[in-house]
Amino acid sequence: MLYLVLEGKPAFHMRVTAAFNAVLNKQMQLGERSRLPFSWNTFEPNLFKEGAGALIKLVERDAAKMKHEYGVDLVAVFLDTMGLAACYENEDKAAQVQRVVSGLNQLSDATGALVIGVDHYGKDQQAGLRGSSAKRGHVETILACLVDKDKNDKTTNHHLKFEKIRDGEEGRIVPYRLKPVNCGVDEDGDPISTCIIQWEPERPLYQRRPPSRPKTDVTLDRAISEVRLPADPDALKAAFYKFHGGNNHAANTAWHRAVKAEGLGLIDGKFDHVP
């Protein structure tokens, strides 16, 4: 495996050491010297402007080294992160994203390695990957590490979602948590720590509570239940005012907001859902 470290360089060696210690702890406790076909590099390829040529040469060099030293093939190349590897002029432009993904396909074809780009979601996880939708359309697989936030803005419910599998089943979710690892102290005596992934596939999936409906929606539901649709406008409005219970001004404001949110309109002089 070859890992291109373009973000978080100062702490990368600590994170990767903690990860390998967790996986190989038994062998290390027995005193075996682990030799791992894993390397990292801080080369910045600028895929958008310069293409994948220089990156292909670097990967081929590392592949030859791994074959010579370990007798294994290089099977995976990570780029962390894609924003720094691509150097888009505007990542909202589909053509720019397509150009970069095309370069990564050339890299995979030339070396036989799986190319894995680490990218970011925007502030709204529900909106998907940051930038152009071409990021999703032009790749084979997306594995999304997602979290929820509680009322104090603290992250919770860490989980990996199979967001896209071109020729497989999408939507599978695997829970995990971040386990803190003590890495000693710095020169000032302050503690240094990192985290490792602890998979919890048997953990029950967290179910979000549906958001409570605004009072105006509930009030309109009660009014509709009383007069039924299609309804005479005056009769429906009178029922809404009755269940709302506020003064006329507040009830009138809530009435117009609720009717709009419910998608009601006049059809042949009666209030009903507008197709």
Q: Which of 144, 170, 199 is the last residue of a domain?
A: 199
Q: 66-110: per-residue pLDDT in tens?
A: 999 999 999 999 999 999 999 999 998 999 999 999 999 999 999
Question: Same structural domain for residues 92 and 182?
Answer: yes
- Cβ neighbours around 258 below 10 Å, total: 21
Q: How far is CA 266 from CA 228, 230, 236, 257, in A?
A: 14, 9, 12, 16
Question: Same structural domain for residues 47 and 95?
Answer: yes
Question: Same structural domain for residues 13 and 120?
Answer: yes
* Low pLDDT (below 50) residues in the chain: none
Residue 187 lies in a domain: yes
Residue 136 lies in a domain: yes
Three-class SS string for 206-239? CCCCCCCCCHHHHHHHHHHHHHCCCECHHHHHHH
Q: Containing H/E element for 24?
A: none
Question: Same structural domain for residues 138 and 194?
Answer: yes
Question: Same structural domain for residues 31 and 139?
Answer: yes
Q: Which of 199, 227, 262 is the last residue of a domain?
A: 199
Q: Is the pTM of this model over 0.85?
A: no
Question: Same structural domain for residues 81 and 45?
Answer: yes
Question: Same structural domain for residues 79 and 143?
Answer: yes
Which residue in the block uniquely carries the two structure tokens 């040469």?
A: 57
Question: Same structural domain for residues 66 and 124?
Answer: yes
Residue 101 lies in a domain: yes
Handedness of CA 82, 88, 94, 95 (dihedral sign): negative
Residue 34 lies in a domain: yes
Q: 108-136: per-residue pLDDT in tens?
A: 999 999 999 999 987 777 777 888 888 98
Q: At 140, is the secondary structure helix, strand, or coil?
A: coil
Q: Which of 166, 199, 232 is the last residue of a domain?
A: 199
User: What's at 113, amino acid-wise?
Assistant: A
- State the number of CA atoms in the 13 A half-sphere of 148 facing the CB: 12
User: What's at 132, amino acid-wise?
Assistant: S
Question: Same structural domain for residues 160 and 247?
Answer: no
Question: Same structural domain for residues 165 and 261?
Answer: no
Q: Containing H/E element for 179?
A: strand 173-185
Name the phi and psi angles at 70, rounded to 5.
-120, -15
Instruction: Give the span between the Cα atoms of 177 and 196, in whole angstroms.
Output: 8
Question: Same structural domain for residues 162 and 225?
Answer: no
CATH code at 129? 3.40.50
Q: Containing H/E element for 22?
A: helix 9-23
Q: Are 157 and 148 in contact (CB under 8 A)?
A: yes
Task: Identify the pLDDT of residue 265.
Answer: 83
Range of the domain at 89: 2-199
Residue 107 lies in a domain: yes
Residue 205 lies in a domain: no
**Total number of domains constituting the chain:** 2
Task: Identify the pLDDT of residue 24.
Answer: 79
Residue 204 lies in a domain: no
Task: Identify the pLDDT of residue 67.
Answer: 94
Question: Same structural domain for residues 169 and 260?
Answer: no
